[in-house]
Amino acid sequence: MTEEPIYPATPEALRESSLLNQWWYYGFELLPGVFAQGHFPQSMPMLPRLMLRNCRLRGMECLDTGTMEGLMPVLMRRGGAERVLAIDGVDHCVEKLAAVQHYYGVSFDYRTVGPMYSLSEKLDGQGFDLINCSGLLYHVFSPLMVLAGLRGSLKRNGLMIVSTNVIVDREAFADFNTKGRLQEEPNTFWYLSTGLLDYALRYLKLAPISCIYQPHEAMDTDWRMRTEKHSGYISVLCRAVDFALPTTDDEWMADSVARSWEYEWIPDWERAQAQPVSRIPTSRLSSRPRDDLGFGRRQRLLRRMPKAIDITSTVEHESAVTEARASDGHSLRLADSR
Ligand SMILES: C[S@@+](CC[C@H](N)C(=O)[O-])C[C@H]1O[C@@H](n2cnc3c(N)ncnc32)[C@H](O)[C@@H]1O
């Protein structure tokens, strides 16, 4: 039998503990006024956290990928989620995850899964109303494989938050971090262009319905984030739909959906189609809908098509998030519920 850890119960004991005095990714207030210090500046907003506020979680099942110490799972549970599964590639935060659950009085499940590919298989076909895939796509050899592998785990009509580093450009391309041009961090590979992110999501039957963006030049971090390009961090909220979403001038997407081997093999479409329909609501979203999508006749008839946005236009025309209030950042306080 494994013994329950004993957590420091007084500020003095906590301040002297190895729990508090180790490296933390996020900041956490663990006892009133006693903080584990995260590595982000206070002024930097956490975009997936802001995006989560648009999702109504009461009674929902949620998945957080690349969870670190579990800031998002705490917010999901406090937001009313019935069940939360947090996963990470390696088990580097297991003890801190348990401590956070103790001090915040919430519980969620955790699994270490290795590479984030084939997730719907690794997660035994479980379905989720909301999946958070943030801070992960630039860390993997193949971002498309990760999204495709997750697709079968999303309930029909469910929501996915996809947040990653991007280059703002309507052309669809991915920029590789050759010679550490984009970031020195050795696990960083790709910055997708906003055009490619938009295209890949629609290809995988995910309608982008809202997005927020922060330019790297506005981020005052100890590590280099600026690039020579117009780059930044984006968080996109997507709604799962039953059809790919080509623009009206695009015949290739439908053809590839119908005839490509990879499209048939990699996303588990059978599982995606067999998932129950989620009723997860969003709050009122203000982004302007695009008008160049050729919706399928059946989709129109079913009136199931959410108002999709054009990610690049939204980034270019809507104001970027640059400043964080204390409750918007990468630090969680005991009283925070959002
Ligand atoms: C930059 S952190 C992002 C944390 C959090 N999801 C967020 O958005 O704030 C990256 C997360 O993905 C995990 N990760 C990074 N590279 C990975 C890889 N190649 N395979 C699996 N997990 C990875 C890390 O362990 C960590 O939890």
Burial call 288-312: b when 16+ CB within 10 Å, e when fewer: eebeebebbeeeeeeebbbebbbbb
pLDDT band at residue 234 using 50, 70 and 90 as cut-offs: very high
Which atom number of ligand 1 is nearest to the Cα of residue 140?
19
How much is the average pLDDT of 273-280? Answer: 97
Q: Read off the tokens for 173.
A: 């391309």
pTM score above 0.85: yes
Our mutation pick for probing the ligand 1 site, out of 47, 67, 68, counting the most ligand atoms within 8 A of Cβ, is: 68
Q: Is 235 in the pocket of ligand 1 (CB under 6 A)?
A: no
Q: What are phi and psi of 61, to 5 degrees?
A: -105, 125
139 by DSSP, 3-state: which? Answer: helix
Our mutation pick for probing the ligand 1 site, out of 49, 111, 116, 139, counting the most ligand atoms within 8 A of Cβ, is: 139
How much is the average pLDDT of 174-195? Answer: 96
- Residue 241, Ramachandran bin (φ over 0: left; ψ between -120 and 50: alpha; else beta): beta
pLDDT at 190 over 80: yes
Q: Would you state the pLDDT for residue 226?
A: 74
How much is the average pLDDT of 7-34? Answer: 97
215, exposed or middle or buried, with CB in 10 Å at 0-12, 13-18, 19+?
A: middle
Residue at 329: amino acid letter:
G
Residue nearest to atom 27 of ligand 1 (CA): 66
Instruction: Tell me the percentage of the chain whose pLDDT exceeds 70.
Output: 96
CB neighbourhood size of 59 (10 A): 12
DSSP state of 205: T
Q: What separation in angstroms does the CA of 287 have from each of 170, 224, 236, 284?
A: 18, 31, 11, 9
Q: Read off the tokens for 75.
A: 């917010």
pLDDT at 1 over 70: no
Q: Is 139 in the pocket of ligand 1 (CB under 6 A)?
A: yes
Residue nearest to atom 2 of ligand 1 (CA): 135
List the beta strands (DSSP E) in 5-108. 27-31, 34-36, 61-65, 83-88
How much is the average pLDDT of 122-149? Answer: 98
Q: Is pLDDT larger for residue 289 or for residue 197?
A: 197
pLDDT tens sequence across 81-134: 999 999 999 999 999 999 999 999 999 999 999 999 999 999 999 999 999 999
Query: How far, in Å, is the centroid of ligand 1 from the Cα of 66?
Result: 4
pLDDT band at residue 336 using 50, 70 and 90 as cut-offs: very high
pLDDT band at residue 161 using 50, 70 and 90 as cut-offs: very high
pLDDT tens sequence across 286-299: 777 888 887 655 55
Share the mean pLDDT of the chain. Answer: 94
pLDDT at 12 over 80: yes
pLDDT at 162 over 90: yes
Q: Is 187 in the pocket of ligand 1 (CB under 6 A)?
A: yes
14, exposed or middle or buried, with CB in 10 Å at 0-12, 13-18, 19+?
A: buried
Domains of the chain: 44-328 (3.40.50.150)
Q: What separation in angstroms does the CA of 203 have from each of 71, 104, 144, 257, 258?
A: 30, 39, 10, 8, 11
Dihedral sign for Cα 89, 230, 310, 202, please.
Answer: negative
> Which among 177, 175, 225 is positioned nearest to 195, based on CA atoms?
175
pLDDT at 309 over 60: yes
- Residue 217, Ramachandran bin (φ over 0: left; ψ between -120 and 50: alpha; else beta): alpha
Our mutation pick for probing the ligand 1 site, out of 24, 136, 142, 164, counting the most ligand atoms within 8 A of Cβ, is: 136
Q: Would you state the pLDDT for residue 285?
A: 84
pLDDT at 73 over 60: yes
154-167 and 231-240 as β-strands: parallel, antiparallel, unpaired? antiparallel
CB neighbourhood size of 50 (10 A): 19
Q: How far apart are CA 105 and CA 78, in angstroms?
A: 10
pLDDT at 312 over 80: yes
Residue pair 157/89 in contact by the 8 Å Cβ criterion:
no
pLDDT at 249 over 60: yes
Query: How far, in Å, is the centroid of ligand 1 from the Cα of 140?
Result: 9
Query: How far, in Å, is the centroid of ligand 1 from the Cα of 139?
Result: 7
Query: How far, in Å, is the centroid of ligand 1 from the Cα of 91?
Result: 11
